[in-house]
Amino acid sequence: MSMLGMSISDISINTLSGQPTSLGGLGAKVMLVVNVASKCGLTPQYTGLEALHEKYAGQGFSVVGVPCNQFMGQEPGSPDEIATFCSTTYGVTFPLLEKIDVNGDNRHPIYQQLTDVADAEGVNGDIRWNFEKFLVNGSGEILGRFSPMITPEDPALVAAIESHLK
C-alpha cells in the first residue's frame, strides 16, 4: 500500500487497545507525537508530557504516545502492561497508540514521514532514541522535531506548541 501523497493525519494506526484510528482521528488541532518507553532513563519525561497535555488540552492540544521497543528493548511490555504502567506510575491520560517500529525495514508509515523532517540542529532520518518529539497539526503538517534530550518543559518546545495553538 503506497503512502505517497497521503497525509500523515490519515495514515491508519491502532490505539494501544487495538482500535483503528489515525492521528487526524484523534481530533486534536496540534499534537506532540512521541515515541515512548517504560524502562528508559528518559521515562520520567512522561510527567512533563502529561503536564503539557493537561495544560493545553482545552485549546485543542494532545500529546500522543507511541510505544517502541527498538532502543535496547526498553519497551518490552504488552499493551496492557504499557497502559497500566503509564496510568499508575505517571497518571497518563493522553492517547497511547500501538507499539510500532520507528526505524528500519518495518518502520511504521507515520514515522516514514516524520523522519524526513529535521530538528533545530538539522538532524533528520532515523529516530535517535526514546522520547523524540514531533509537533504535528490536525491537517498533518509536521511543524517541528525535537531531540529526545529536549524535555517537555523546554522553553523552545513550549513556545512552539503555544505558537500553533493561537
What SS3 state is found at 47? helix
Residue 6 — very low, low, confident or very high, per pLDDT cuts 50/70/90? confident
What SS3 state is found at 111? helix
Q: pLDDT digit string (tens) for 150-163? A: 999 999 999 999 99
| Residues 132/124, Cβ–Cβ less than 8 Å | no
The catalytic residue among 3, 6, 40, 42 is 40
Q: Looking at domain 8-165, what is its CATH homologous superfamily?
A: Glutaredoxin (3.40.30.10)
pTM score = 0.96
Domain extent listing, the chain: 8-165
The pLDDT of residue 1 is above 90:
no
Task: State percent of the chain over pLDDT 70.
Answer: 97
Q: Is 68 a catalytic residue?
A: no
Looking at residue 125, its amino acid is G
Cα–Cα distance list, 149 to 44, 100, 128, 132, 146 (Å)? 12, 21, 10, 8, 8
| Residues 35/43, Cβ–Cβ less than 8 Å | no
The Cα 56–Cα 6 span in angstroms is: 28
**Angle 146-71-3 from CA coordinates, rounded to 5°:** 65
Look up residue 155 and give its three cell numbers.
522553553
Look up residue 160 and give its three cell numbers.
512552539
What SS3 state is found at 32? strand
Q: pLDDT digit string (tens) for 26-51? A: 999 999 999 999 999 999 999 999 99
